[in-house]
Structure 1
Amino acid sequence: MAITRYLPLLGLVLCVLSACATPPVHLTPENSLAYNVSGEGRLADNAPLFVVENPAHDYNRIGSPIIEDVGDGSRIVSINPDTPQIFAEERSWAGQRGRYTNLVYRVHFSEIPSSILPFYLTAGKNVGLLVIVTLDERNQPVLVTSLHTCGCYLAIIPTSFLDPAALPEGWNSKEQYVYGETLPGILTYDGDPTLAKLHIWLRDGVHRVMAIRLEDAAGGIRYPQVTVTLHPKESLVRLPFADGETFSFFETDGPRKDYVHGSQKIWERLLISWWAFDWRVGEDKRLGRNTDDGPVFYTSLKPWARAASDLRDFPAFLKYWGWSL
């Protein structure tokens, strides 16, 4: 297709516009906050420790959805940064090399603020992040996948428990580049996976994953922390409201069905939608359990790769990106 010749140029322009070549930041206890999951079971045991930069800004803190009645039957959905919640679920699937379990973690923030310098392409409300820890049949983590809840900024990181034959051809085990962020090419466990804790650092303003590492689980946490309990991901469609009513975090009808309330992205619509052939590009959405459930959760902007890169079908998604689990 003729448009393919312009994709690298478009990607470069968008990268510059987004100020995505951001220098690394060394977080200190003075400019960071960690969210530590408590509880029992596989979801709690394998939950990442999220560390956010500059928590003094409300938009940098993990929050919880709230519903406000503004009269005339209208309701507004927003994120309260003072009550953090992490939503989680398990999903099992069969691959070429056995059966696997995805532990899916979802967090949301009040916004990516509007900014010209640096320019925040993804500015918008109620934005979110997904982290998926994939376990093998021995409950060993073999993959860590991160992306925003619009499907963008995808990173897939193997661990030392993954069979090297499952890696994409020519995989760089030292590092990988995700739109300006440098992430590891592999996460190396030293024996028992329960002795290490997955740490994920999120960048100020844009909530980009700027670092992922394994830390000694018994070594303590160097940052101020908040203890968080996990909530079932299904509870997002039944948020408590007045008089025992519930309300969904996602729109329930119309052209935005299954998209997060209020998550329109004006800059992405203006600059990307016309060549990605998606009016709702960049808008946060529900991750359906299969390809018949919810909107297509594509992870490639190539219009012809929309179905092949759909996160709802995890084995097909991995195959599209070159993995052979």
Structure 2
Amino acid sequence: MSRLHVAPFAGLLVLLLAGCATTSTPPRPLVPQGDDCLALFEQVDQRIEAAGVADAGYARIEGYPYLRSDRFSASFASEISDMDTFWEWVGYLRANEDEARDIELRNLGLDRQTASSTLIDLRGCGAWLRSWELDDKAFREHLLSVVTPPHEYSTVARTLGLYPLAKPFLNRGVREYQEEVLAEYAKPLDSLEAKGELVLWKARVSDEYAYETVDLSRKPRDRLGRIGMLGSEVIQMAQYHAPQLWIDTADDYDLPGQPTVGGGTPGVNVRKPVVYYLPGYTRFGGRNLLQISYFVWFDRHQSGDSAEGPLDGVIWRVTFDERGQPLMHDTIHACGCYHFAYPVRDMRRREVPDDRETMLFPQAQVPEGQITVRLKSGTHAVQRVLAADQARAAGGREYELQPYDELLLLPLPEGGTRSLFGPDGLVAGTERGERFWLWPSGVRSAGAMRQWGRHATTFVGQTHFDDPFLFETVLVAPPFEGPALAADPHAAEIPLMR
């Protein structure tokens, strides 16, 4: 190959590498016994990596092995103006690390005593390093600059896939699909095709918790606006607002269940009908609003096209106003695809460029309160959002609610546990044929099932389902009741819903 041909490609590689570069870490502050603690983190990380059990839900922060971030926590980095708020924020990052580390150690297969003592040692080292290292101004400021998790799009794929040239074709495909969805929603409800029996699934209700919503306006908040809620109140909210699932059931692949691991091809155990829930936050209209996401898993996506394959998942999310009433519903499949939004209250749409892909608003009127979600057979596409009492079904069944962390600790046939998701955040074996022709979009393995925090939701632009400002980009927040909720410095005395 001549120099004339090498030079342009070499220049391209330089640009790609430059785009991946990050600010260099300043000299690490001297910490008594700090080297021993850093060595412990490194040793444990090496074992976790070798075993393939690293958790991808929270982002590791290079240079800070005792902290992990997510997009909500990272969104405060440019807003912290005093040390009290800074240390509270660091506590959030520490809690992320502790949660992920506990999952990793349990999946590592250590005996209970070893896992417990290792976790205690790591927590002690994390608290020690945090107190000393982050007292250093340069090290502290560097943390604020690198805390944002990486995006879920491959710059290399977009560059080599000639993304600017592919963009019009990607946009056209998105528009054609969205037009088909709108046409389907324009049909009367009773005209929707049913391939099998319509089965109505409801969450099993526990008498331990009040069957009503929680008035969030009465709850204290910390300096980051996180809500002081008891664990029982989170469960109460999750139980009361869990969607009814009205599923066209033609075969076992339309039955919700518990995902299975360790047996080759991923699937679900339909003898254990489970829906998983995960609390979180969004930032909308200057407020931090509670969200609860529900995860429903099916044995396969049966569509007869390039999206078909083993394991399918639907994520249904409820965003609450300050009184604990649903403000917005939205949904994606567990691949990050098919982002539909259903505002309960009227909200003005923002103008967006014609060449930018956004979530779709397929239904004009959305009922308040508890709802029923109609799902299509095979593809499990959301076809309607109805009031809870509107569904009529030949059969009724119950599903059990479980916390999302159970997906990270699924039982192995030979004993022990393993996460549904790999260290890359994807579910191995769920690759789809569509990944080949959607490669120029930069979405890694488009169509594959993925872990929370790893959902890219658009093929044009860069959008993430867990972006705390996601709604702000397309909607103007409605007026909220009462004054803005101020931070409560005493909220730390109440268990915080992170």
Q: Name the TM-score, length of structure 1 as normaliser.
A: 0.74
Q: Report 1:68-217 matches (<5 A).
A: 68-69=262-263, 75-113=264-302, 115=304, 120-160=305-345, 164=346, 166-169=347-350, 183-189=362-368, 193=369, 197-216=370-389
**Aligned to 1:312, which of 459, 463, 466?**
466
Seen in structure 2, the aligned counterparts of structure 1 residues 14 and 101 have a Cα distance that, compared at 3 Å, is closer
Structure 1, residues 222-269: CA drift from partner, whole Å, max 9, x if none? 4411111201101101002246400111113xxxx2112321111x12
Q: Give unmatched runs, 5+ long, in structure 2.
A: 1-163, 210-235, 353-358, 479-498
Which has more radius of gyration?
A: 2
**Paired AA for residue 344 in structure 2:** T
Distance apart, 1:287 and its partner CA: 0.9
- Please say if residues 29 and 223 of structure 1, whose CA atoms lie closer than 8 Å, have aligned partners that are also in contact: no
Structure 1, residues 63-98: CA drift from partner, whole Å, max 9, x if none? 2112344xxxxx553212332110002113443243
- Please say if residues 202 and 245 of structure 2, whose CA atoms lie closer than 8 Å, have aligned partners that are also in contact: yes
* Partner of residue 251, structure 2: 57
**Paired AA for residue 113 in structure 1:** Q
* Partner of residue 57, structure 2: none
Please state whether the residue corresponding to 2:349 is helix, strand or coil. Answer: coil
Q: Using the alignment, how far apart are the partners of 1:84 and 1:59 within structure 2?
A: 12
- Please say if residues 29 and 222 of structure 1, whose CA atoms lie closer than 8 Å, have aligned partners that are also in contact: no
Distance apart, 1:20 and its partner CA: 9.7
- The two structures, once aligned, show a CA RMSD in angstroms of 3.2
Q: Would you tell me which structure has more helix in proportion to its own residues?
A: 2
Q: Using the alignment, how far apart are the partners of 2:194 and 2:465 within structure 1?
A: 34
**Aligned to 1:247, which of 392, 395, 418?**
418
Q: Using the alignment, how far apart are the partners of 1:21 and 1:269 within structure 2?
A: 26
Q: Give unmatched runs, 5+ long, in structure 1.
A: 70-74, 172-177, 289-294
Distance apart, 1:279 and its partner CA: 4.5
* Bigger relative contact order, structure 1 or 2 (CA pairs below 8 A, ≥6 apart): 2
Please state whether the residue corresponding to 1:101 is helix, strand or coil. Answer: strand
Seen in structure 2, the aligned counterparts of structure 1 residues 122 and 231 have a Cα distance that, compared at 3 Å, is same
Please state whether the residue corresponding to 1:126 is helix, strand or coil. Answer: strand
**Aligned to 2:435, which of 259, 262, 269?**
269
**Paired AA for residue 204 in structure 1:** S
Q: Would you tell me which structure has more strand in proportion to its own residues?
A: 1
Structure 1, residues 193-230: CA drift from partner, whole Å, max 9, x if none? 3xxx30101111111001111133xx886441111120
Q: Using the alignment, how far apart are the partners of 2:456 and 2:261 within structure 1?
A: 28
Q: Using the alignment, how far apart are the partners of 1:184 and 1:114 within structure 2?
A: 23
Q: Name the TM-score, length of structure 2 as normaliser.
A: 0.50
Q: Using the alignment, how far apart are the partners of 2:178 and 2:474 within structure 1?
A: 21
**Aligned to 1:284, which of 449, 454, 464?**
449
Seen in structure 2, the aligned counterparts of structure 1 residues 9 and 82 have a Cα distance that, compared at 3 Å, is same
